[in-house]
Amino acid sequence: MADINMFIQDNKPDTRTVECFTVLGDQTYFDSKDRPRTDDEDKALAKSVVINNKPPKFYIKIGTYGKIYNPIGLYTEGHSQKFLAKIGKKQFEYKEVNQKVFDMYITFLKTKNLAWLNNAEREMA
């Protein structure tokens, strides 16, 4: 007969660590790798999430058409929290990406060099 304890899961809460990244100029502080960071998740453009000491998952802000969000673009003023009126959802969402795309996007946020944003978009495709 199987032990009943084998089927009972631990009810321990998940430990979750979130690192939030933002564009140069909006940062609260710089981390040890000189990347612009923020404590405010509403200002975050990229996130690194670690749950229960597993390998981190990386997320970046994506627009409605699947393009990576450019906070220094011509028409970005005030649009980061905008809702799409007709369908009632946020204009931007976070998408899980691999570490290479994440690192390219963080470099773009740090340097404001559009070549890094273009490389990140190509790598996602």
Domain count, the chain: 1
Asked whether residue 5 is assigned to any structural domain, the reply reads no
Q: Is 36 within 8 Å of 27 (Cβ atoms)?
A: yes
Asked whether residue 68 is assigned to any structural domain, the reply reads yes
Asked whether residue 47 is assigned to any structural domain, the reply reads yes
* HSE value, Cβ hemisphere, 13 Å, CA-based, for 108: 24
pLDDT tens for 17-63 read 999 999 999 999 999 999 999 999 888 999 999 999 899 999 999 98
Asked whether residue 79 is assigned to any structural domain, the reply reads yes
pLDDT tens for 93-118 read 999 999 999 999 999 999 999 999 99
Helix (H) or strand (E) holding 105: helix 99-111
Q: Which of 72, 66, 74, 57 is nearest to 121 (CA)?
A: 66
Asked whether residue 8 is assigned to any structural domain, the reply reads no
